[in-house]
Amino acid sequence: MKKNITIKDVAKETGVHVSTVSRALSPNARASLSSEVVERIKNKAAQMGYRPNLVASGLRTNRTMTVGIVIPDITNSLFPPIVRGVESVLEEAGYASILVNTDGDGKREERLLDLLLERGVDGIIDAAVTSQDKKVTSIYERVPIITANRMVFGSGIPAVINDDAAGIKKMFDLLVAKGHENIGYIGGPERLSTGEIRNRAFKEAVAINDLELNAKNTVFANNYTEEDGLNCADSIFSNSPNVTAILCANDRLAIGAIEAANSRNLKCPDNVSITGFNDTPMIDRIPPGLTTVRILQFDVGRIAAELLVKKMNDPSIPVPEKTIMPVTIVNRGSVSIPNTGN
């Protein structure tokens, strides 16, 4: 049987102390060594076939070097870039991730969080939280948690979110600058921080521009889905046929709204302008090219992971309770001046 290579073996081959090898091979301890020493030891360890005994290490340090990543919908293209951002940091820091999918089900989320705790994860990045998430709040004192893309209001849990309010207001200003006054709105679910913040921002934008909030063309979706977007847009077209633009709180809602317009022989943007939010991957390929709010999905995940690693390494280190990422408007082909003859 082939002999397992140990740290002592690597130390002997590299001519350094065992403690130096240990630090060089630990992402959290190598800062005191020069990059040349670290690379020399890492290369020699790899050449010799050294593999760390994570179980033994976990018993010594009471850490598993694993992190739970919680997302609400594995089929939603918004979340893979966030996960990639998270893993770009975790891998470099020596952590493995356990990815779980809640399917937007609160009870399932609770079970999965319990499972992650049973697996002994050192921390959790949660992109599936609701704005009043009692389960996540209840376990925050037991394990470091950072929320990504969403937040739990009043919980004190650090969150990395997008500037949702600014995105809605910038998009509203774009529509007004194009000459739109009868602007419909498909809002997000109020149980999510993204929905509540964006919905509030739309109402504020209406007031700032001295326009009236019309209940007939302001509809709130139960979920961020194409089906909800279609149903909400159908309601707006039926109750407010003179609407010239629909601002959607999410790209998937906007896709449904475009489908609803097409079913009524309303062309976007000739008859109605439609906008989204998130700039999810591939959304630019959907005709006529969706004008939307771009969020920094990868960077949200990356920064959330950086904050979590800090907290896992030293729980006493303070991290911002709220990190707000900038957003920009991506102007494509779904917005034009209003066609008052439709």
DSSP per-residue string spanning 10-65: HHHHHTS-HHHHHHHT-TTTGGGS-HHHHHHHHHHHHHHT----HHHHHHHHT---
pLDDT (0 to 100) of residue 194: 98
Token pair 């925050």 is found at 140
User: Do residues 26 and 89 both lie within one domain?
Assistant: no
93 shares its domain with 197: no
Tell me if residue 214 falls in helix, strand or coil: coil
180 in a domain, yes or no?
A: yes
Residue 66, pLDDT > 50, answer yes
Beta bridge partners, 66, equal: 96
Compute the half-sphere exposure of residue 321: CA atoms within 13 Å on the CB side of its CA: 6
Q: Is residue 58 part of a domain?
A: no
CA gap 137, 223 in Å, rounded: 23
In this prediction, residue 62 carries a pLDDT of 65
252 and 273, same domain (yes or no): yes
36, part of any domain: yes
CB contact at 8 A, 49 and 80: no
Question: What backbone phi and psi angles, to 5 degrees, belong to 66?
Answer: -125, 150
Element (H, E) at 85: helix 79-92
> What is residue 28's predicted lDDT score, i.e. its pLDDT?
62
pTM of the predicted model, to two decimals?
0.83
170 and 280 assigned to the same domain: yes
pLDDT value of position 59: 44
136 lies in some domain:
yes
User: How many C-alpha atoms does 96 have within 13 Å on its Cβ side?
Assistant: 8
Answer yes or no: is 236 within a domain: yes
What token pair was written down for 249? 């709180």
Asked if the model's pLDDT at residue 60 lies above 50, the reply is yes
The pLDDT tens digits for 83-121 are 999 999 999 898 999 999 999 999 999 999 999 999 999
The CA distance from 42 to 31, in Å, is: 14
Residue 53 has pLDDT above 70, yes or no: no
Q: 290: which 2 tokens?
A: 């969706």
pLDDT attached to residue 5? 79
Q: Say which CATH number the domain at 74 has.
A: 3.40.50.2300
pLDDT in tens, 300-335: 999 999 999 999 999 899 999 999 999 999 999 999
**CATH at 15:** 1.10.260
The 10 Å Cβ neighbour count of residue 150 is 23
230, 176: one domain: yes
On whether both 95 and 239 belong to a single domain, the answer is no
Q: Which residue has the higher pLDDT, 4 or 76?
A: 76
pLDDT the model gives residue 7: 80
Residues 107 and 142 in one domain: yes
**Do 179 and 220 share a structural domain?**
yes
Same domain? For 76 and 174 the reply is no
Q: How many domains does the chain have?
A: 3
Q: Which helix (H) or strand (E) holds 324?
A: strand 322-325
Query: Over 80: is that where the pLDDT of 207 sits?
Result: yes
Residue 280 and residue 220 share a domain? yes
Adjacency order of strands within the sheet including 96-101: 96-101, 66-71, 123-126, 145-148, 159-162, 322-325
How far apart are alpha carbons 258 and 252 in whole angstroms?
10
Give me the pLDDT at residue 48, please: 80
pLDDT at 31 over 80: no
Q: What is the pLDDT of residue 190?
A: 95
Residues 177 and 272 in one domain: yes
Residue at 277 is within a domain = yes
Record the tokens describing residue 61, joined without a space: 């340090």
Among all chains, which residue has been given the structure tokens 């005994």?
53
The arithmetic mean of pLDDT across residues 134-138, rounded, is 95
Main-chain dihedrals φ then ψ at residue 282, nearest 5 degrees: 75, 0
Boundaries of domain holding 309: 64-162+296-326
Biggest CA–CA distance in the chain, Å, is 83
Query: What pLDDT score was predicted for residue 161?
Result: 98
**26 inside domain:** yes
Would you place residue 1 in the very low, low, confident or very high pLDDT band (cuts 50, 70, 90)?
Answer: very low
Q: Is residue 232 part of a domain?
A: yes
Average pLDDT estimate for 19-43? 80
β-bridge mates for residue 324, sequence order: 161
Q: Work out the average pLDDT over 208-237.
A: 95
Token pair 């870039």 is found at: 81
In this prediction, residue 54 carries a pLDDT of 56
CA angle at 57 for the pair 53 and 63, rounded to the nearest 5°: 130
Q: Residue 74: which of 96, 99, 111, 109 has the closest Cα? A: 99
pLDDT of residue 57: 53
- For residues 300 and 272, membership in a common domain is answered with no
pLDDT of the residue at 342: 47
Tell me the C-alpha distance between 72 and 104, whole Å. Answer: 5
